[in-house]
Amino acid sequence: MAYQSRVSDAVIRRLPVYYRHLVELEHNGVERISSRELGARMNTTASQIRQDINCFGGFGQQGYGYHVASLRQHMASILGIDRVYKAVIVGAGNIGRAVAGYTGFERDGFNIVGIFDTDPKAVGTACGKLTVQPAAELDAFLKKAKVDVGVIAVPLDAAQSVADQLVRGGVRALWNFAPMDIQHPDSVVSTHVHLSDSLHILTYKMNEEALFKQIDERQKMEK
């Protein structure tokens, strides 16, 4: 049976945000922070913060606030970024190369061990410290190297078959950048990066004030 999460999606989505704020606080030399102050930074309440952290067995002393460095470490361990993952990228287009070149992933234990493409023009080219390998060699590579994460950075029509191939090759997780939902067994986890979501939030924000003026006027008319 598939593992059922004990934590809501909303809590899980906040975890990386906690982590980012704690990294920044630690970087700025802040030693302790109250749940109220952390909540204010994150646009939420102190009680939400305490509830979220208590989902994972609790942390901190009542009245003293959280010790920033320890909570940052605790959060890294909850997020599982205090260990090392081997990843391969399938697709050496712009997205694949952007992921390969993104500084910071390596600090989080994300260790890219191979990048693959079907395009003969891409194969053999450099990508950071790696050389793009032919997609035909992916199966053999996965058989030899114990790879944890497969990054799907191929076009829409190839995404599902690449996902299947990665799963057959034994990866435990799929990081999907293709604009479609991929299917996979329950034993594998996945996240889907929807670049358009952030664009839609941006356009929403650009129009929100005008939108509510319209809504208010319509409601006045209807009265």
Give the residues lining the site for a second copy (CB under 8 A): 3, 5-7, 9-10, 12-13, 15-17, 19-20, 43, 56-57, 78-81, 85, 93-95, 97-99, 101-105, 108-110, 148-149, 172-173, 175, 179, 189-209, 211-212, 215, 218-219
Dihedrals phi, psi of 4, to nearest 5 degrees: -100, 125
When the beta carbons of 32 and 172 are compared against a second copy, the nearer one is 172
Give just the sign of the alpha carbon dihedral 69, 72, 86, 106. Answer: negative
Say if residues 153 and 90 touch (Cβ distance below 8 Å): yes
Minimum CB separation from a second copy for residue 100, in Å? 8
Number of H helices, E strands in the chain: 8, 10
CA distance 172 to 35: 35
Minimum CB separation from a second copy for residue 114, in Å? 17
Minimum CB separation from a second copy for residue 191, in Å? 4
Give burial (CB, 10 Å; 0-12/13-18/19+) of 191. exposed
When the beta carbons of 129 and 218 are compared against a second copy, the nearer one is 218
When the beta carbons of 136 and 195 are compared against a second copy, the nearer one is 195
Minimum CB separation from a second copy for residue 219, in Å? 7
Minimum CB separation from a second copy for residue 92, in Å? 10
Question: Which residue is associated with the tokens 């299947």?
Answer: 164
Minimum CB separation from a second copy for residue 146, in Å? 14
When the beta carbons of 89 and 135 are compared against a second copy, the nearer one is 89
Give just the sign of the alpha carbon dihedral 99, 5, 35, 197. Answer: positive
In sequence order, which ranges of the chain are alpha helices (DSSP H)? 9-27, 35-41, 46-54, 68-79, 94-101, 138-144, 156-168, 195-222
When the beta carbons of 136 and 211 are compared against a second copy, the nearer one is 211
When the beta carbons of 54 and 161 are compared against a second copy, the nearer one is 54
